Every structure is written in C-alpha cells, then in structure tokens.
Structure 1
C-alpha cells in the first residue's frame, strides 16, 4: 500500500517537476548575476555552481532512462557539457546551459504529456445492477451476482446488464453502443442479446447466458485497456538526430582537446553542441501546432499524436456517425395514387409526435421542415416493434410496419423495391387499415465526406479503409461514393480491433470513430481520432485526437497542421544544428570561450524558437478567407437545398405515375412538377448563378471554379422548359399522347437525377466551405 501511495504521489507531482527545475535554474543564474554585479565573484560562482548541479542530476537520470529504452540521446552531450564546465571552472557557462536544458525539457514535457486514457466513460456506463426475477418477486442485485440461467427484467431505457436470450415475443433495442448503427433493431423470442445495448421499447425479460465478467460489454472494456497499453510513447525527434550528431560532437570536442591540449576548448565545443535547438525546435513547433489545431476544433492530446499524424499513410474509419450523420433522415415519401406526399407525411408526423423512436423523430423533423401543419393525436397506442396507432381528425392512423394481410398493390411493391435499392428503412402509413403511403429513411452521408477524402489523399493517406457493423450493401454504397480502398462490414468491436492492428503492422495508422464500440479500435491505432461533438465520451477518452465540431473535414485540417508543424520542427532543428556545428568549429580552434559559446547558443535558441513558433499561424497558402456576406449566401442556399428536396422526390414520383398510365392523374402530377420547377427550382438556380457563383470567384481565386455548375444550371433549365412544352402539348391535345411518353419519362427521370447530383456537388464543393462557430477555413481540393 505504501508503494502504491508513493507512485500516486509521484504521478501527481510529475507535472510540477519540469517547471520547478526551470524556476530553480533561472533563480540560480539570476542570483549569481546579482552577486557578480555587486562584485561578489565568489558568491556568484556558488550560485552558478548550484544551478549547474541542479541540472546535472535530472540530466543524468534522463540519460539512464534513455539507456534503459535502448538508446543514447542527445542528453549525454548536456551532461558532459555541464560536468565539463564545473571541471574547468566555467561556472557561468554551466548555469546558462542548465537554464537552456531545463527550459527545453519543460517545453518538451508540455508538448508530449498526454491526457488520461482511463476510459472513464466506458466504465461509468457499465451496468452495476440487474433486476432478477425469482417466481413473482423481482429484486435488484449487483450485476456481479448474476448467474447463467437467471431470469432478468430489463426496464425501458435500461442497459442490458449481461448477455442473454429474449423471453418475450418481440423487443426493440438500441444497439448503437456496440454496432454504431443509429436505427433500432428488433429481437424476437429466443434471439441473443448482448450486454451494453439499451432497451428502446417496453420492459422485457431476458435469460442470462453469461456472467457479467464474461459478457460482451466487459470484453469491450478489456479490449480498450489492452489496446491502449500497446501504444508506446513516441521517440523524441531529438533522439533520432542524435544518432549522428552525438558522435560528431564528441569527435570534434575530443579532437580540439587532443590538438590544443586544452580541456577548456573541448568544453567550449560541448557547450555550443548542447542540443537545445534539438530539444526546443520540436516541442515549440508541436505546441504551436496544438494551439493552431484547437482553433480549428481539433483537440490533440500530445505532441506524439501530432507527430504521428504528420506521417500517417493509412486511415481507418467507422461508417455511422463518422462518414454518415449517425441520424436517420427522410429521403423520400411515396404516396398511393389517391394521396399526396405531404398528406402522407403530415399524418405520419402527427402520430409520431407521441413516439420517442429515432425514426419517429426523423419523420416529425422532416414534416416541420416542410412547414406542414401537425395535429395532436388522441388514443395513441405504441406497440414495440410495430409502430404507433392514433386517431387524427377522426381517422385511425397507423405508422410503422405494414399490417399482415394488407393488399400488396403495385405502388406498395414499388416502395419495397425502392427501399431495397436505396438501402433505406421503410415506414408504412395506413388509414383505417389501408396503406396510403410509405416513408423511406436513411442515415445520410456527411456533406463534407467526399471532399475530405480527397483532401486526405492529397495530404498523404494512400489507403482508406472503412469498418462498420452495418450490412455490406449500404457499406459498399458509401465506399463507392467516397472511393475507399477497402470496406469491412458486419464488424464487431473485437473484429475492428483486429483489423486496426493488422493495418498498423503495415503502416502508421489513424482510426476515426465516434461511439463506445469504437473505443478499443481507437486505442489500438497509432493515432485514434474521435468525433466527439455529439457527446461520444467513451471514444473521446480512448482517442489521441478529438474533433470537437461535428465535421469530418476537421481531420483533414488536423492533417495539414500536423504535417506543417512537423516540417517546421525538422527545419528548425536542422538550421539550429547547422549553426551549432559552425559554432563548434569556431570553438574548436579557440575563438569561442565557453561562456560566450553559451550566450551564442542562447541566440541560436531564440532563432529556433522564432522559426518554430510560425506553426501557430498556420499555412497562409492553405487558408481560405471567406467574406461574411459570401458565407451568409452559402448558408442561405444550403437551407434552400433542404427545402427543395421534395421537388426532386415529386419529379421522380410523377415519372413513376406516368409509367403506370398516361392518364389525367399522371398529367396533373406532371403539371404540378412543372409548376414547382418554374416557381421554386429555376428561381433558386438563377439566384445561385447571379449571386452565389460570382461571390465565390474571389475566395476561390477563379471564376472557372463554378463553370461546370453553371453548365448544369443550363441543362436543368433546358429540361424544365422541355417538360413545360410537353404539358402544353398534352393540354392542347386533350391528354398525354403516346408519342410523348418516352421523352417525358426521360426528361422527368433525367431531371430528378440531375438535380440530386447537382445538389450534392454544390454541397460538397461549396457549401462545406462555410465555417462553423466562426472557425477559420482551409482550402481543399
């Protein structure tokens, strides 16, 4: 117990050691300076001797620690120069070296000390109690007392305490903590349930199949702890250069002594060889980089992480919440022939107002975004795994699964096929038992994801890999859009750790994730990056880097900052060493005494620091200045895109209706589309052409940057006018003529596809340039 207490005391005092060393050495140097000014030379020497001895002790410890790691760092030169100044009586030089050494160490410690990786969030989330039922009695017991075959009651909102099998007919679970998927899943009687998932429905009973210690969630915690323990500290930049600088300095010092016979001359060489440019260049540049990154919403826990990020070549990413938004959204509303899309969505949203389900929330959000009027439902009943039924304006409306035995009409089969093709979740809307529409929902790709992937490849990543607990079909679709090199689906937390370890054996690997299930993989990577804006504290604790804004492109910003900081650190170190080598040559021939050499070395240090501190400003060539009025336009047109997506769905739906029959109903649908195009889409495109694109020419430094988008605007107008001409021809002929059908279908389907692609291109290329929270922008490809 006494030993453990001592270790804890040392850990608590360690952050104070480097500043204390700086204070003592500076105090000794200043004390000697005051004594020298008043003529007390002997007292001054004692102060300077004390300062030198204060630095010698830790310097010897650092050398011994380096030897234990199997290396001999540049600290050995510092020890030799400190001892040498004492032996030849150059006490002022020794005190100056002590201050330089202590200051460099303090900066190095400040740059590389990492935050705690105790995965506190994982442990805090671990279930501590369980409800065990014995007969008719339910009692709360510590989770450690749960035994195999115990019957447990899992209340609504509870975390499942142990692995087990469902005893009820149907349960609804939120498995995002393990799979990362935001959509709830259903489990039927007898199906396996893993610990760590959340009961998203009504209370249910579970038969335990494992103890708490042997359950899934406890395994995740152990994986994260084991993977974190594998991350060795990064070797300092200085030690890598020491492989040749150290023997060269000793050779010059020894040669000067041998030729001149003067030990003072050898000490003078060692004084100017004291590797403060090495000790200072890297930490100052790294600290500056850390400061710069924090402005961009990137919290980097230490200099080692920033340095590793600077030369990483493999990027492994989770899908949900990292490449996608992590929240389902409505992508399309399909209505039966006798109904409208807004009517279907309005009824569904009115009913779903009383449901806490994640899909219900998405439906209500979409209806409100479209400005639909919602009615407060009555007599609402929610059945786990089935949906919600309620009375709305005298009609009994059901939202959820299609009732068994309902007629399978052609439009309903179209909805099923569409959901399968689009990898979307399907929610049916029925009135008095008859389906009137279907709502497709999907977790959308982040707008900035494709642009970020291009920037990351340009920054140096040559292998992009996606890991996901989701199915292969949606995972492959995301990988195709983003141009990823590899995709792994159906990944458990242990699978992700194994995949990251395999990638790490081949190259310096970065892992990006946002959920508890990603924490072990983040800890196993060379650099773990957590998307922490939405409160994913477990992954944040396991990560080396946390993106505090919910934007993936900040990782590309961090990559740019890391590479520039590392480049400046190397540049500063090389320049500093070159100046030191020149000073060593001068000292070797006797023209630079130790005290003057120490002062010269201080000048070199200042030059190194001034150069290294440039990293805090960022790279001017990579910064994009966006005027406030241009940024306001970006936000405005981005919001208009969200409002206009229903026109795209309406255009496609009218084409589907035309396929069924070119009758009066189809003509009315096409007429409605033509009206929406003229009143909403074309004015929006014209405003972009006249206002947004000219405003973007200045920050993008070229009017040609938007030229291809202008060409797309022209094609959208051409197709819209062609559809309008078809409407006029049909009206004059008393209906849609057979010779119009094929061309109308080509126009409608083509325009729907063109609008969807055009919206995505603008969002990726331009709208993502709008800064969040006033943060600065970086220019990507």
Structure 2
C-alpha cells in the first residue's frame, strides 16, 4: 500500500469511528478504530520482518507493539492514533524528501529526449541517443541543449541557472563551447556536436545526481543504532512502570510516546535537504556520506593549474629592442599568433586584440608543433616562438633582449619575436590567479579549515608566487599523479582531508582523498567521476558554499535527532509517572514527529555563511568598468616604460606629457564613474559601514599623483628645470604605476563576487 493510500485509510477510519461514536455506537466505533489500526500494524510488521531477515531488529517494533497493545487493551482509539502517527510520518517523510530533492529531480526532469538535426534535406527530429559527433543541431528558443558542442552561429544566449544557480543569462559568440543541459534563452541557433548525448556534460550530471539521490546517509545508519538502544530503554521504562505500579496502561502510554519516528526520519531528511540545497547552488554532492565527510574537513589540498589559477596564459611582461615600439611588436606577434592554436599564441593574440590592434590574417603561416610560427608581414619575414625555435631558424643572438633567469623560472612561458633574422621583442606569459581565490581561501579558514596545501606538477619557482599570494601552508611542486596520491594519504592521517582538482591527472588523488572535489564546469569527465563533490560552476568559491551547507546540514540533523528524542524521553517519563494517558501520548508524539521533521527541513534554507550580495543592475556599469581595466593596465605599463626611458634626457618629456594627458582622459573619468554609480550600489549589497572606503582612498592617492606628475612636467619644461624635476618625476611615475596596478588588482578582488553575475 502506498504512503498516501495508507494515510487516507487511517483518516477515513478515524472519521468513521468518530461519526459512529457521535451516533452513540461506541462499540461499533471501537471496532472501526481497531480495523483502522490493524492494517497499519501489518504494514509495520512486514517492515520489521524484513529488517530481521537482514540481521537487524527493526526500529519500528515499538510502533508495532504500541498498536497491538492498544487494540488488545481495549484502547482502539489510541491504536488508531498511533497508526495515524506511523502513516502520517511516512507521508510526511515522502513530502519532505520531495522538498529536499526538488533541485535534484528538476535536473532529471529537464533531461532532453529529442533533438533537431539539420540535414541537406531539412530538419530531422531524432532521439538524443541518435546524436553523432559532428551533427549540426538546431536549438530553438526555450529548448534544452541536447549535447555538448560548438556554436555555429554568430551568437547565442543561454540560461544556465538550473545547472549552476546563476540567475543571469550567458552570452556566447561563434565558436564558443556549449554544454548540454543549458536552456536557449534567445533566438534559435545551430551547434556542431562534439560529443554524443551519453558522453555529454548533462548525462554525466544525471549519473552523478542519481548516485547522490540513491546513496543512504551514514548518519541515518547511526540513527538506526541509536534507535536500537532506544528500543531497549523503552522496554526497560515501560516494563518498570508496569512492574512498579501494576498498571499496564502506563506501559502502553510509554510505548506510544517512545515511537522513534523523529530518530529514523529527521536525520536522513536533513542530509537530503542539504544535498538539495547544494544542487540549487550548482554543486552535486554524491550522497549523504560525502556530505557528512565534507562537514568534517580540516585540510584542503589544491591542484594549481585550472583550480587556483584560470588555466589560461596571459601576457605579464614584454621587452623590445631599440627602435621597436611595444604596440608594434605586440601587433606583429598577434598577427603570427593567429595562425596557431598553442596556448601561448592564443594569449598573445588575445593581448593584441585587447589593445585594439589591427590583426590581418596571414595567407600561409608555417607552424612548427610546440615550437613556434613563421610568416611574412608587409614583406618582412617574422618568427615567433621559443628560444630553441629561433635558434633552429638561425636566430641565435638575442642581443640585449631576454628575460632574466628569475623571470623565466616563474613564468609559464617566454616567447621571442624575430624580424628579418634579428630578435626584436620578448614576451613573458604566466597563468593568472583566479580572482575569487584569495577570498575563497580566507573563507575556508573561517569555516574551520586549518591547513591548505598546493599540489602541482609545475616547477617550485612557478608555484611559489601563487602560494605566497594565497598564504598557503605548504607547496608540493613537481608532483606526478602517484606523488599526489602519496601526499593525500599522508595528510589524511592527521586530519580529514579534501582534494580539489580539475584534470585527468587529478582523478587518482580525488579518489584517494576523504572527499574529492572536482571542478566539473570546465574540468574533465575523469575528475568529475572520481570526485565526491562536483562543482557545476567554474568558480572556486563554490567550495565554501559546499562545506558551509554540509556543516549546517549535519548540525541540523543532529539537532533534529536531539530535539525529537529529547522530547520523547521527557514524554516517556511523564507517561511512566501517570501524567499522560495513552491517547494523549499518541497525540503528543504526533506533534513531536512533525516538529522534528520540519526542523530537519530548515536545512533547505540558506545559512548565513552562504549569503551572497544581490546582483548589481546593469546601470551600475560593472561590465563597462571591468572592460576598461585592460587598457588601464596597459597604461600602467607605459608609465613604467616612460620612467625607465628618462635617462635619455629632456627629449622624453613629450612622451611623458602625452601619458599625463591619457591619465586625465582615461583614469580620472574611470574613477569618477565608479564613485558615482558602481561603488554606491556595491556598498549597499556588501554591507558594513564603508566597504568601498579603502578603494576611494586609493582613488584619491592616484589623483594626487597625477597632479604631481603634471606639476613636475611643467617644472621640468622651464629653464634648467630638468635637472631639478627629473628625479622626483621619475619617482612619481613609478609610484603611480605601482598604485594604479595595485588598485586594479584590489578592486577586482573586492568586486569578484559580482563578476560571475555580470559575465
């Protein structure tokens, strides 16, 4: 019999008995209530028998004893109310599980079943199982992307909220990567499938979700153990009350109030509620066991590339030969780089586009795999690549160029540009730190994580700056996958340990850790399958949400158990002392059940540690201001170059004056726009007395330095002014470059919480 059918039976029986009693048919009413209770007793007996066959004493044996004893002792109404307690508890459990797993079941319900394949003869409707790699699929407005692929049209707007919890749509351009499971929030578009439906992201998420929904929480098993002890305690109290007073009714009252529904229902409901809450934040937790282990984590190990860093190289420094301008060198490098898919080439081409440099396409670039690119621009033969690549092409003399050994050691890559057989520029590239990483690690320490370690296959010199910036406790560099496993096992001896990673090489360490946390949005399927927790959003700070949800859910589960069993214990004492009749005890216990389960469901609500600022409106201008940062960083580099070039004498003054004019035209209006719209709205959402005060103070310092530079330029242009003003002017340029660069970095970290919603 289903839960709802059982509850309906009991309610109808209670109502029928009440009508008979009102008509003066008390004997018939008693029979009606007995007939109501006995099928429930049979239902419970079947469950107890199954538990016994499994080698366990069923915890519902108290409820079975209470119903049978009530009927046998001519307390049929009490038996019917206990039956209502059992049937109502099961129905409430089903409702609570439905609430708790709503986010999980929503993922399953949204799984696409049909797809529109574009063929030479038109559009063909097919089942998703028929999708093949290379198929062109049409996704109409409101439809779910059926398979991972690449956008074939100019643009697409996607709603990823069901997967990631992010409310704002995501805009993609031609060639962008599409994940299955996202919903088309704009016009129809075409994609070229890169995976079959079964091998796509959404299918993997569904497998993870099913695993999470089917896993039985260990805390529920622990609750079963407590319940067994509670059965023994109930027998002692009920038997003692009967033996002491000779009143069997008191023993029945003890049995009625001792029914352990809060114990066997509240714990799993709280944990499943936590899993559902995590799913709504774009976090898949594979069952209550993983959630419980996550709640106890005290050590976190991080992979570096793609986890603590973005996994994408960016230009961090460059040097050019005399007579070559920096923008001209970067433009030539960008033109060549367009002919290669190497990460270094992509970074150089991206840096050139960010500076709005003209990048015409080369007709026939020549690429040497892993080495470099050769080609001709405006009749000049160019080479772009590693030092070894240039040497093989006859460019052995780098002249005055070349990054220092220290810079080369920490850089992700160094690339040289040669023009007509002569090296004319060197570019230093490195993997950038995730903007949310520093705040994430500070938040983890606030949650009780006491040790954080980075494991990386990179060189120690490349890992050290990242570790210093994040204030990590230790770094293990040059780690092969086997060494990562050894470190995980060593750390796990002293404290519960989690491993965070995204790549195939991280999968063994994720599986070996107490909790493996996979960056599943951009990471590999191997990492997602090996992890106990999968982040569907490519943001490191979701780890904080995952641990906060796990800690709160486990705490609520234990509190719900304590609440329910504590109240039941007090009721048992009252019943044993004769203060509760069996009927009153049954009604009271029903209230205790409801209270414990409803308390367990509070795990669905966000805790205070999960509180995130509301998204900024478009009128705040966050996207526009962040887009201006690339140009401002370029301007900061130009300030440093101008200060370095001041040794040439007063002839450098026109260039410095041009930079000062750019500062007034670009930096100062940028700062005023931030203070007028962006900062006030951000302050409202961040809270506190004056959260943007330090950034405004830095604005003031930058404005003062710009004024000093203008005054010193004027002084240097006067008679004999260069000798007196050049020294202070050079210092002011260096100070301004450092202040501007630092301000941009601090501002990006302070507003990182809003960046994901603005992207």
TM-score by length of 1: 0.73
Match of 1:51 among 33, 40, 52: 40
3-state SS, counterpart of residue 310 of structure 2? coil
| C-alpha separation in 1, matches of 2:223 and 2:699 | 56
| C-alpha separation in 1, matches of 2:337 and 2:708 | 40
CA contact (8 A) 2:14 2:33 kept: yes
| C-alpha separation in 1, matches of 2:505 and 2:673 | 45
CA contact (8 A) 1:265 1:587 kept: yes
Tell me which residue corresponds to 1:533.
521
Match of 1:390 among 375, 385, 391: 375
Match of 2:622 among 618, 631, 634: 634
Tell me which residue corresponds to 1:674.
660
Tell me which residue corresponds to 1:729.
715
Tell me which residue corresponds to 1:80.
62
CA contact (8 A) 2:103 2:276 kept: no
Deviations 1:220-276 (A, max 9, x none): xxxxxxxx9xx9963435257558755544432232222233445324323322222
CA contact (8 A) 2:620 2:678 kept: no
1:704 partnered with 2:690: yes
Tell me which residue corresponds to 2:275.
290
3-state SS, counterpart of residue 382 of structure 2? strand
| C-alpha separation in 2, matches of 1:577 and 1:359 | 62
Quote the offset at 1:477 in angstroms: 1.4
Deviations 1:556-606 (A, max 9, x none): 122222223233333332222222122212322344444543332222222
Shift in CA distance, 759/599, structure 1 to aligned 2, threshold 3 Å:
same
User: Which aligned pairs between 1:679-758 and structure 2 lie closer than 5 A?
Assistant: 679-732=665-718, 737=723, 740=725, 742-758=727-743
Tell me which residue corresponds to 1:465.
453
Match of 1:412 among 368, 382, 401: 401
3-state SS, counterpart of residue 324 of structure 2? coil
Shift in CA distance, 431/517, structure 1 to aligned 2, threshold 3 Å:
same
CA contact (8 A) 1:82 1:98 kept: no
Tell me which residue corresponds to 1:173.
none
CA contact (8 A) 2:63 2:82 kept: yes
Quote the offset at 1:625 in angstroms: 4.1
Shift in CA distance, 685/694, structure 1 to aligned 2, threshold 3 Å:
same
Deviations 1:114-172 (A, max 9, x none): 99xxxxxxxxxxxxxxxxxxxxxxxxxxxxxxxxxxxxxxxxxxxxxxxxxxxxxxxxx
1:477 partnered with 2:465: yes
Tell me which residue corresponds to 2:326.
341
3-state SS, counterpart of residue 340 of structure 2? coil
The total of aligned residue pairs comes to 630
Shift in CA distance, 560/473, structure 1 to aligned 2, threshold 3 Å:
same
CA contact (8 A) 2:300 2:453 kept: yes
CA contact (8 A) 1:298 1:547 kept: yes
Match of 2:504 among 516, 524, 538: 516
Deviations 1:643-692 (A, max 9, x none): 3221122222333334xx42467545534433332222222223323333
3-state SS, counterpart of residue 328 of structure 1? strand
Tell me which residue corresponds to 2:305.
320
Tell me which residue corresponds to 2:177.
none
| C-alpha separation in 2, matches of 1:260 and 1:351 | 97
Alignment RMSD (CA, Å): 3.4
Shift in CA distance, 719/542, structure 1 to aligned 2, threshold 3 Å:
same
Match of 1:367 among 338, 349, 352: 352
Instruction: Using the TM superposition, name which of 95-104 and 596-605 deviates more.
Output: 95-104
Tell me which residue corresponds to 2:365.
380
Instruction: Using the TM superposition, name which of 346-355 and 762-771 deviates more.
Output: 762-771
User: Which aligned pairs between 1:125-524 and structure 2 lie closer than 5 A?
Assistant: 234-236=218-220, 238-239=223-224, 242=227, 245=230, 248-402=233-387, 403-404=390-391, 406=395, 408=397, 411-413=400-402, 415-417=403-405, 419-420=407-408, 422-524=410-512
3-state SS, counterpart of residue 470 of structure 1? coil
3-state SS, counterpart of residue 763 of structure 1? helix
| C-alpha separation in 1, matches of 2:658 and 2:710 | 11
Quote the offset at 1:377 in angstroms: 0.7
Shift in CA distance, 667/234, structure 1 to aligned 2, threshold 3 Å:
farther
CA contact (8 A) 2:307 2:501 kept: yes
CA contact (8 A) 1:333 1:344 kept: no
3-state SS, counterpart of residue 341 of structure 2? coil
CA contact (8 A) 2:548 2:609 kept: no
Instruction: Using the TM superposition, name which of 288-297 and 515-524 deviates more.
Output: 288-297
CA contact (8 A) 2:620 2:677 kept: no
CA contact (8 A) 2:284 2:536 kept: yes
CA contact (8 A) 2:242 2:248 kept: yes
Tell me which residue corresponds to 1:203.
none
Quote the offset at 1:544 in angstroms: 2.0
User: Which aligned pairs between 1:653-672 and structure 2 lie closer than 5 A?
Assistant: 653-658=641-646, 661-663=647-649, 666-672=652-658
Deviations 1:29-64 (A, max 9, x none): 457557756758657645633332322333454477
Quote the offset at 1:742 in angstroms: 4.4
| C-alpha separation in 1, matches of 2:635 and 2:460 | 30
| C-alpha separation in 2, matches of 1:561 and 1:537 | 24
| C-alpha separation in 1, matches of 2:55 and 2:521 | 39
Quote the offset at 1:412 in angstroms: 0.9
| C-alpha separation in 2, matches of 1:507 and 1:533 | 28
| C-alpha separation in 2, matches of 1:693 and 1:534 | 31
CA contact (8 A) 2:620 2:681 kept: no
| C-alpha separation in 2, matches of 1:63 and 1:319 | 51
Tell me which residue corresponds to 1:22.
3
Quote the offset at 1:699 in angstroms: 2.2
CA contact (8 A) 1:112 1:303 kept: no
Unaligned runs of 5+ in 2: 21-27, 105-211
Quote the offset at 1:731 in angstroms: 3.5
| C-alpha separation in 1, matches of 2:443 and 2:65 | 51
| C-alpha separation in 2, matches of 1:66 and 1:516 | 42
| C-alpha separation in 2, matches of 1:60 and 1:360 | 69
3-state SS, counterpart of residue 688 of structure 1? helix
Shift in CA distance, 383/410, structure 1 to aligned 2, threshold 3 Å:
closer
| C-alpha separation in 1, matches of 2:708 and 2:317 | 25
Shift in CA distance, 618/114, structure 1 to aligned 2, threshold 3 Å:
closer
CA contact (8 A) 2:695 2:743 kept: yes
| C-alpha separation in 1, matches of 2:545 and 2:713 | 50
3-state SS, counterpart of residue 626 of structure 1? coil
Task: Name the structure, 1 or 2, with higher relative contact order (CA <8 Å, separation 6+).
Answer: 1
CA contact (8 A) 1:257 1:265 kept: yes
3-state SS, counterpart of residue 745 of structure 2? helix
CA contact (8 A) 2:270 2:556 kept: yes
Quote the offset at 1:108 in angstroms: 9.5
Shift in CA distance, 285/245, structure 1 to aligned 2, threshold 3 Å:
same
Instruction: Using the TM superposition, name which of 281-290 and 432-441 deviates more.
Output: 281-290
| C-alpha separation in 1, matches of 2:233 and 2:364 | 87
Match of 1:552 among 520, 540, 549: 540
Tell me which residue corresponds to 1:578.
566
| C-alpha separation in 1, matches of 2:487 and 2:526 | 20
Quote the offset at 1:488 in angstroms: 1.0
Quote the offset at 1:515 in angstroms: 1.4
CA contact (8 A) 1:96 1:598 kept: no
Shift in CA distance, 398/499, structure 1 to aligned 2, threshold 3 Å:
same
